[in-house]
Copies of this chain bind each other. A is one copy, B any other.
Amino acid sequence: MDVAALAGVSAGTASKALNGTGQLRAETRERVRRAAEQLGFTPDPLGRGLSSGRSYTVGLITTDSFGRFSIPVMLGAENALGAGEMSVLLCDSRDDPLREQHYLRTLLARRVDGIIVTGRRTDPRPRLAAPVPVVYAFTPSQDPRDTSLVADQAGGATAAVQHVLDLGRRRVAHVTGPADHHATQVRRAAVERTAGGALVGPVLHGDWSERWGRLAADLLLRRHPDVDAVTCGSDQIARGVCDGLRDAGRRVPQDVAVVGFDDWDVIALASRPPLTTVNLGLEALGRRAGELLLEAVAGDPSPGTTTMPTRLVVRESTVAV
């Protein structure tokens, strides 16, 4: 019998009550606390581990050395896992399958209760063969029966294009990253669908850098001097596009509106002007991954892929102040 069952609440509610997080009625919190006490639940993780067969430890495997995307996911997961109620063992596989196998063995030898897998890419990845629950965050599993959480990139790209159309722009270009990246393809398809006849083609593919954005602005003005909006595959590209347009004497947003993607504050806020962009909601995604892992560890798994919302953040690169 576990605490949640005894208190008559879900595992997620029990976790919130014990961690002092979330919005719960005082009575619920108290009921969970009494149930925990009755079951000899103690804040000593080793003591608990011995009595419950659980280690109160989860592994977090990231493929991208704690970069731009995995860090907010990790922060969100850590919030959900309750700031020490569950401890997080960190593994950086650096995109190396052998290193990942090594880490998986290490985590299992330490009897982790579950594993969260994250990374930089949104291309589905091979599943991890583990005898404990696994939740894939941002980078989904190739197996649709696994529990994966992905950001709604298509929704974000659609909102970006709809925003510039709403502003009356009718000559919309798309400048983005490498054509073989999943993120590029999903966003591009949504842009093409939403812009329709307003899209001035072809879509420009390059790397995920400001330098590419500057070059692309130059190319774009040669091909389509009447372009009045550019949606970009990343904030770095969008910042470069803004600089390139300004160097060519175009005003952003009066002559050309520019939209980024990612809402990476270091880039989006320093850009001239600050970027309208799509926030990927990574921290919320990581938090949900932590919650789903807790539920799966408690015997209540959620197979399948969940798409988490993204949102457009409007700043001066599309609306003049």
Contact = CB atoms under 8 A, between A and B. Distances in A.
A298 interface: no
A182 interface: no
Report the copy number of this chain in the oligomer: 2
A209 interface: yes
Interface stretch (A30-38, A71-79, A143-151): A71-79
Contacts of A102: 83-84
Contact of A74 (B44, B66, B211, B270): B66
Given A71-B66, A211-B270, A89 B90 contact: yes
A71 B72 CA distance: 13
Given A78-B92, A243-B272, A272-B243, A87 B111 contact: no
Contacts of A41: none
A210 interface: yes
Contact of A46 (B45, B75, B111): B111
Contacts of A111: 46
B110 A87 contact: yes
Contacts of A90: 60, 78, 88-90
Contacts of A46: 109-111
Interface string A6-47: 000000000000000000000000000000000000011110
A320 interface: no
A65 B74 CA distance: 10
Interface of A: 43-46, 57, 60, 65-66, 71, 74-75, 78, 83-84, 87-92, 99, 102-103, 105-106, 109-111, 209-211, 236, 239-240, 243, 266-267, 270, 272
Contacts of A88: 89-90
B99 A83 contact: yes
Contacts of A209: 270
A106 B87 contact: yes
A260 B22 CA distance: 43
Given A75-B66, A92-B78, A211-B270, A45 B106 contact: yes
Question: Which 3 residue pairs spanning A and B have beta carbons closest together?
Answer: A84-B106, A210-B270, A90-B90
Nearest to A111: B46
Contacts of A66: 66, 71, 74-75
18 contacts: A45-B106, A65-B71, A66-B66, A66-B71, A66-B75, A78-B92, A84-B91, A84-B105, A84-B106, A87-B89, A87-B110, A88-B89, A89-B89, A211-B270, A236-B266, A236-B270, A239-B270, A243-B272
